[in-house]
Chain A
Amino acid sequence: MEPSSFHTPPITIPFPYPFPSIPTSPICTSSRPWMDCRIWSRLPQRLVDRVVASLPPPAFFRARSVCKRWYGLIFSTAFIELYLQVSPCRHWFIFFKQQGIKNCIYKNAAAAASGGGGEAFLFDPENLRWYRLGIPLIPAGVSPASASGGLVCFVSEESGSKSIVLCNPVMGNLIQLPSTLRPRLCPSIGLTISSSSIDLIFAGDDLISPYAVKNLTSESFHIDGGGFYSIWGTTAALPRLCSLESGRMIHVAGRFYCMNYSPFSVLAYDVVSNQWSKIQAPMRRFLRSPSLVESRGKAVLVAAVEKSKLNVPKSLRLWALQECGAAWVEIERMPQQLYNQFAEVEWGRGFDAVAHGDYVVVVIKGSERALLFDFGGKRWSWICPCPYGGGGGEEELRGFAYEPRLAVPITGLLEQLTLPFNSFAA
């Protein structure tokens, strides 16, 4: 697979493109008397661009089919700068159909392509809409592992040194990163992208022999606009006897967090000091199906609580990690009646939670049902199932917080890395 950082447009665009001259007769009919189309033509180009830059993602991409000048706006530096300044933050989610994680051990034997064949499902929690997005350039043999800053990180499934590709799903372009150094099987992966830096961490599942894994180390990648970089050279020892189970990592305020299993606790990695620490989980002996999410600047644990020995009704709760980094405070509990409905659907199979902005999505395993919680309105509601399938039977929907972005300028730094890249094994 050739590393490509820009997708070729399907049509040629005549540059420079002159603004169309105003025709003397209006094109629109008089069926909308309140809208006189001649008025719009009074807007100077700069203001038209300003309006287009404020369009939400689906409307923006539809607008590209209006005329060639609008198609070409994303290739204009001036427009992209304007877009990055004015475009509001959209707290969406991106889902992928995936086989269960445990299957990844057996996937190496099968040469078949995995990862849903380059298909993703966007969810807009504000308008409760699903979109199916094709991402044809995703190579075979990789799975989505994390998402941040408008990009999704895909990582090779084969054991060993891991190949990594960052993808901008709505634009379709990919950029390859240098591969990790230590051989691993199914590590936990964290990604965070800011306007000035990119950080990636791979933790656990160190292959100590071709058929044995142990959670020993983590390795990190860092690059920033200030000229500092570390290409997997930064390693740290994981706490003893931890069990990461290839779980997702979240990033909050300079730290990556992931769940530790048997017994439950939370592991925290401080990027600056390159150190791991363990945080006790709340009600750790009574948790079921915990997920860590980042919500409104805090690390939040979402889990079901079951106290079988006491007469406490089962519930689903959210706790936020406090500033001190050690204490948790319960911030939300699913209403009991809703929990009863939830339990009837879930049947003890477990669930996965993911959060973005004010929204938390809880996806029930083995079912196409999912719940949405809105911190703004303190409301729980069932989400209409993804109309494109997924969630029932073999194919689970695996989700990440995702903000559609037309451009991610910080990836320019990656293009300057001239290390030889490993090619993907089919």
Chain B
Amino acid sequence: MAETPASAAALKTVTLVSSDGERFEIAESSAKQSITIGNIIDDGCCDASIPVPNVTGKVLTKVIEYLKNHGGGGGDAEKKEKDDELVSAPVPVLLDYILAANYLDIKGLVDLVAQEIADSMKDKSPEWVRSEFNIENDYTPEEEEAVKSHFAWAF
């Protein structure tokens, strides 16, 4: 057993359990890209499996794919290809990803999905944004006209 402490740590895995009971094994070093998971591991709970109650198995699968893709090694082009595939999901699914990434505190995944959502809405009108984000229009018609004419260049 000539394992150095470093290689022993690299081989260490953790098990994550989704809200619907699916179990996923992942290298500890990759899992630590999630600050939330990293804190749980550092607090010494890595023997038992780690429950992730807010995230379903379907979404957690993709999150784990992201963590493995960015866990180290592999070319940039390859990583980008896998990222592009991940964000090609329909928008309701993207929302699930960003909520999971937010809960698990994975900055890279939050950034990736936020940019994709922004790109999907960048050509849409304010009326569309209001209806999709369920936002009440609290401008009076005059105020709204004033704001729109102030930024006329953007319309």
Q: Which residues of B contact A54 (CB under 8 A)?
A: 114-115, 117-119
Q: Which residues of A contact B118 (CB under 8 A)?
A: 51-52, 54-56, 59
Question: Given the known A-B contacts A48-B133, A88-B115, are A34 and B123 also in contact in the complex, defined by CB atoms under 8 Å?
Answer: no
Verify if A333 is at the interface (C-beta below 8 Å from B). no
A132 engages B134 (CB within 8 Å): no
In the bound complex, CA of A40 to CA of B94 (Å): 11
Q: Which residues of B contact A46 (CB under 8 A)?
A: 102
Give, as a whole number of angstroms, the nearest-CB distance from B26 to chain A: 24
In the bound complex, CA of A68 to CA of B146 (Å): 13
Verify if A254 is at the interface (C-beta below 8 Å from B). no
A35 engages B132 (CB within 8 Å): yes
Give how many A-B residue pairs fall within 8 Å (CB-CB). 127
B139 engages A67 (CB within 8 Å): yes
Residue of B nearest to A44 (CB): B102
Q: Which residues of B contact A65 (CB under 8 A)?
A: 126, 139, 144, 147-148, 151
Task: Give a binary string over A44-74; 1 marks a CB under 8 Å from any B CB, 0 the rest.
Answer: 1011101111111111111111111011000
A37 engages B147 (CB within 8 Å): no
Residue of B nearest to A71 (CB): B147
Within 8 A of A (CB), among B101-149: 102, 110-111, 114-115, 117-119, 121-126, 129-139, 143-144, 146-148
Verify if A36 is at the interface (C-beta below 8 Å from B). yes
Residue of B nearest to A54 (CB): B118
**Size bracket of the A interface:** 35 or more
Give, as a whole number of angstroms, the nearest-CB distance from A12 to chain B: 9
Give, as a whole number of angstroms, the nearest-CB distance from B98 to chain A: 6
Verify if A27 is at the interface (C-beta below 8 Å from B). yes
Residue of B nearest to A36 (CB): B92
B129 engages A66 (CB within 8 Å): yes
Verify if A212 is at the interface (C-beta below 8 Å from B). no
**Size bracket of the B interface:** 35 or more
Residue of A nearest to B117 (CB): A51
A41 engages B134 (CB within 8 Å): yes
**Most B C-beta atoms less than 10 A away, residue of A41, A50, A57:** A50
A67 engages B136 (CB within 8 Å): yes
In the bound complex, CA of A66 to CA of B90 (Å): 24
In the bound complex, CA of A55 to CA of B123 (Å): 10
Residue of A nearest to B147 (CB): A65
Question: Given the known A-B contacts A28-B131, A71-B147, are A58 and B153 also in contact in the complex, defined by CB atoms under 8 Å?
Answer: yes
A41 engages B147 (CB within 8 Å): no
Verify if A134 is at the interface (C-beta below 8 Å from B). yes
In the bound complex, CA of A132 to CA of B152 (Å): 9
Verify if A86 is at the interface (C-beta below 8 Å from B). yes
Which residues of B are interface residues toward A (Cβ below 8 A)?
90-92, 95, 98-99, 102, 110-111, 114-115, 117-119, 121-126, 129-139, 143-144, 146-148, 150-155
17 of the cross-chain contacts (CB-CB < 8 Å) are: A10-B150, A27-B134, A37-B131, A37-B132, A37-B133, A39-B92, A40-B132, A47-B102, A51-B117, A53-B114, A54-B115, A56-B118, A58-B122, A59-B118, A61-B154, A66-B133, A132-B153
